Amino acid sequence: MSKSVLFHDAANLRQHGGWLLTVGMVMVLVLGWLLVLSGFVESIYAFRVRRWGGFFLHRMGGILAIFIGLIVTHPVAGALAWTLLFASFFIVIGICRLVMAISLKFPHWGWAVFDSLITVGLGILLWAEWPWSGLWFLGLAVGVSLILRGWSYVMFALAIRRLPAAGQLLHAA
């Protein structure tokens, strides 16, 4: 009878199991509070760009991030339920970003469309592979989503820098 790799060093794992539980709970709490913080930042940003057409989409994304973050900070709940909530979050926020990018069509808006499509895809994959996806996919999805969101903001900022100044537009007319 062969031993499974998981039970090879069970005594050592059992001895350090408390640390694994503690680290897991701390990571869930940190992720939850990061979502709460990002939700507040996005909500504040929505009020700073109040005259812009994306106000309601930023506000909705901020409220959703705060809601999901506050739910996740409760460590007693099961990870599988939170995985489904994150899948919903990725799908909704991805659709909102897609609608915003297509409706506003700012310079290099294709990057925002790419970001939103990948975010929606990650949410759909998370739903499709549930419950097993709760073991590994959440960290990957958050990382990819944050990288793409940051890249779309960089490209948006570069596009804004290339716009002519208001005075140059008046002289050209």
Instruction: Give per-residue pLDDT as tens, 125-160.
Output: 888 887 777 767 667 767 888 888 888 888 888 887
The helix (H) or strand (E) run that includes residue 111 is helix 109-128
* pLDDT, position 118: 92
User: Within 10 A of 48 (CB to CB), how many other CB atoms are there?
Assistant: 10
- CA 144 → CA 28, 123, 140, 147, distances in Å? 18, 11, 6, 5
In this structure, of 74-78, 120-124, 137-141, the range with the lowest mean pLDDT score is 74-78
| Per-position DSSP letters for 9-62, written without gaps between them | THHHHHHTHHHHHHHHHHHHHHHHHHHHHHHHHHHHHHHHTTTSTTHHHHHHHH
Instruction: Please check whether residue 173 lies inside any domain of the structure.
Output: no
Q: Is 172 inside any structural domain?
A: no
pTM of the model: 0.45
**Residues 36 and 65 sit within 8 Å (Cβ to Cβ):** yes
CA–CA gap between residue 3 and residue 35 (Å, rounded): 41
**1 has pLDDT over 50:** no
Side chain identity at 30, as an amino acid letter? V
The mean of the pLDDT values for the chain is 77
Whether 6 maps to a domain, the answer reads no
How large is the average pLDDT for residues 41-64? 78
Residue 151 lies in a domain: yes
Report yes or no on 55 lying in a domain.
yes
Count the helix, strand and coil residues of the chain and give each as a percent rounded to the nearest 5.
80, 0, 20
Provide the domain limits for residue 76.
Answer: 11-167
Into how many domains does the chain fold?
A: 1
Mean pLDDT of all residues in 26-48: 83
Model confidence pLDDT, tens digit, residues 11-31: 665 666 677 667 777 777 888
Under DSSP, is residue 154 helix (H, G, I), strand (E, B) or coil?
Answer: helix
- The pLDDT of residue 16 is 64
Q: Is residue 3 part of a domain?
A: no
**Does residue 86 belong to any structural domain of this protein?**
yes
